[in-house]
Amino acid sequence: MLKRLIRKNEKTISIHVNDRKEKAQQEQLPGHIAIIMDGNGRWAKKRSLPRVAGHHEGMKTVKKITRFANEVGIKTLTLYAFSTENWKRPKIEVEFLMRLPEEFLATYLPELIEQNVQVQMMGNIELLPEHTKRAVKRAMEQTASNDGLILNFALNYGSRDEIVQAVQKIAQEVQEGKISADTISEDLLNNYLMTKNLTEPDLLIRTSGEVRLSNFMLWQLAYTEFWFTDTLWPDFDEACLMDAIESYQKRNRRYGGLKGEEVN
Ligand code: FPP
């Protein structure tokens, strides 16, 4: 009886989310959503579980949100999975986090392929353990020709590191006479960033109540709309994503200018 009731309740929730999804699809959707997935540790602590249990649960949320974002019609989903600063965490936690992409892809790659998702990665891949590198490269190769949602993992990613690398490459090309210093522009710099093949994020989400960027896409977020929630990442679900999208759709993006009726 109780089980039937719960099932009925879940169905009600999913019909509701589905309605919201269909309504949102009538309006301008954010093409690129970037997420700082935070709060795994606190989720675990609340349940007296080890921190890594929170990361494992967070991995399941990645799967759920990827599938739903694709269904909604989001073109790119960038997920901050491991920062250049996360190496400072205890060895056991780092090792666990480095196993997660492998477990995620071993379990869900067939489904991602079926859903036409293209896996990409930004960050310093060379410094990842061999097993992580192998799993990610394999997923990228196997999904390279898919043209549905781009699932872009930020792994061993740091925005300052990305900008420094870009500047070094540009400086070297100037030195070699391949480009001249006076042609350096925003567009040119964009082409040296790890996001060169992606559009800029339209919407940034950070979970768990923290309100900072933590060295994430500092250049690319210049005109992005931000949305923060107290929900911890393992608890984040389809309804939360719809909350963020609906909030985005109410915003008036002006990119520093004025819109229509405001001009006079
Ligand atoms: C921050 O929470 C989260 C991370 C550093 C790791 C995020 C990783 C996942 C959600 C899983 C990634 C899955 C794949 C497939 C790569 P925190 O540990 O800082 O939480 P806390 O602030 O509550 O301690």
Domain boundaries, the chain: 29-158+200-251
Which position has the token pair 């019609």? 73
Band of the pLDDT at 254, cuts 50, 70, 90? confident
**Exactly one of 86, 152, 156, 202 is catalytic; which is it?**
86
Q: Are the C-beta atoms of 207 and 236 separated by less than 8 Å?
A: yes
Pocket test of ligand 1: the residue of 38, 77, 87, 95 to mutate, having most ligand atoms within 8 Å of its CB, is 38
Is 235 part of the annotated catalytic residue set? no
Band of the pLDDT at 260, cuts 50, 70, 90? low
- Kindly give the distance from the C-alpha atom of residue 81 to the centroid of ligand 1, in angstroms, as a whole number: 6
> Residue 158 to residues 39, 90, 136, 137, 164: CA-CA distances in angstroms?
19, 19, 18, 20, 10
Q: What is the pLDDT of residue 195?
A: 98
Residue in 29, 97, 112, 22 with CA at minimum distance from that of residue 63? 112
- Kindly give the distance from the C-alpha atom of residue 256 to the centroid of ligand 1, in angstroms, as a whole number: 34
Segment 7-57, tens digit of pLDDT: 555 556 677 999 999 999 999 999 999 999 999 999 999 999 999 999 999
What superfamily would CATH give domain 29-158+200-251? Decaprenyl diphosphate synthase-like (3.40.1180.10)
Residue 78: pLDDT over 80: yes
Segment 148-204, tens digit of pLDDT: 999 999 999 999 999 999 999 999 999 999 999 999 999 999 999 999 999 999 999
Prediction pTM value: 0.93
> Which helix (H) or strand (E) covers residue 118, if one does?
strand 118-122
- Kindly give the distance from the C-alpha atom of residue 204 to the centroid of ligand 1, in angstroms, as a whole number: 16
> Residue 23 to residues 8, 29, 69, 168, 249: CA-CA distances in angstroms?
23, 11, 15, 46, 11
